[in-house]
Amino acid sequence: MAKERLSVVVTRRLPEPVEARLSELFDVQLRDDDAPMSRGDLANAMKSADVLVPTITDTIDASLIGQAGDGLKLIANYGAGFDNIDVSTARQRGILVSNTPGVLTDDTADMTIGLILAVTRRMPEGLATMQSGEWSGWTPTAFLGGRIAGRRLGILGMGRIGQAVARRANAFGMQVHYHNRKRLREETEADLDVTWWDSLDQMVARMDIISVHCPSTPSTFHLMNARRLKLMKPGAVIVNTSRGEVVDENALTRMLRAGEIAGAGLDVYERGVEVNPRLRELKNVVLLPHMGSATLESRIEMGEKVIINIKTFDDGHRPPDQVVPSML
- Each residue of 73-99: pLDDT tens digit? 999 999 988 989 999 999 999 999 999
Fold exhibited by the domain 105-287: Rossmann fold (3.40.50)
pLDDT of residue 327: 54
Asked if 195 contacts 178 with a C-beta cutoff of 8 angstroms, the reply is: yes
What pLDDT is recorded for position 81?
86
Length of the chain, in residues = 328
Portions of the chain given CATH number 3.40.50.720: 7-103+295-327, 105-287
Topology of domain 7-103+295-327 in CATH is: Rossmann fold (3.40.50)
Amino acid at residue number 179: H
Instruction: Give the integer Cα–Cα distance in Å for 23 and 5.
Output: 10
Strand, coil or helix: 309: helix
For residue 264, the Cα-to-chain-centroid distance in whole angstroms is 16
Amino acid identity of 83? Answer: D
Q: Are 71 and 307 in contact (CB under 8 A)?
A: no
3-state helix, strand, coil in the chain (%, to 5): 40, 15, 45
Are residues 253 and 278 in contact, defined by beta-carbon separation less than 8 angstroms?
yes
How far is residue 132's CA from residue 122's CA, in Å, rounded to a whole number?
Answer: 16
> How deeply is 300 buried, as exposed, middle or buried, from its count of CB atoms within 10 A (0-12, 13-18, 19+)?
middle
DSSP, collapsed to helix, strand or coil, labels residue 227 as: helix
Which residue ranges in the chain fall short of pLDDT 50? 1
Decide if 123 contacts 148 (C-beta within 8 A).
Answer: no
The residues, any chain, with a CB within 8 Å of residue 312's CB and separated by 6 or more, are 318, 319, 320
pTM for this predicted structure: 0.90
Nearest residue to 54 (alpha-carbon basis) of 68, 200, 242? 68
CA distance 162 to 155: 6
DSSP classification of residue 179: E
pLDDT at 326: 57
Residue burial 249-277, b: 16+ Cβ < 10 Å; e: rest: bebbbbbbeeeebbbbbbbbbbeeeebbe
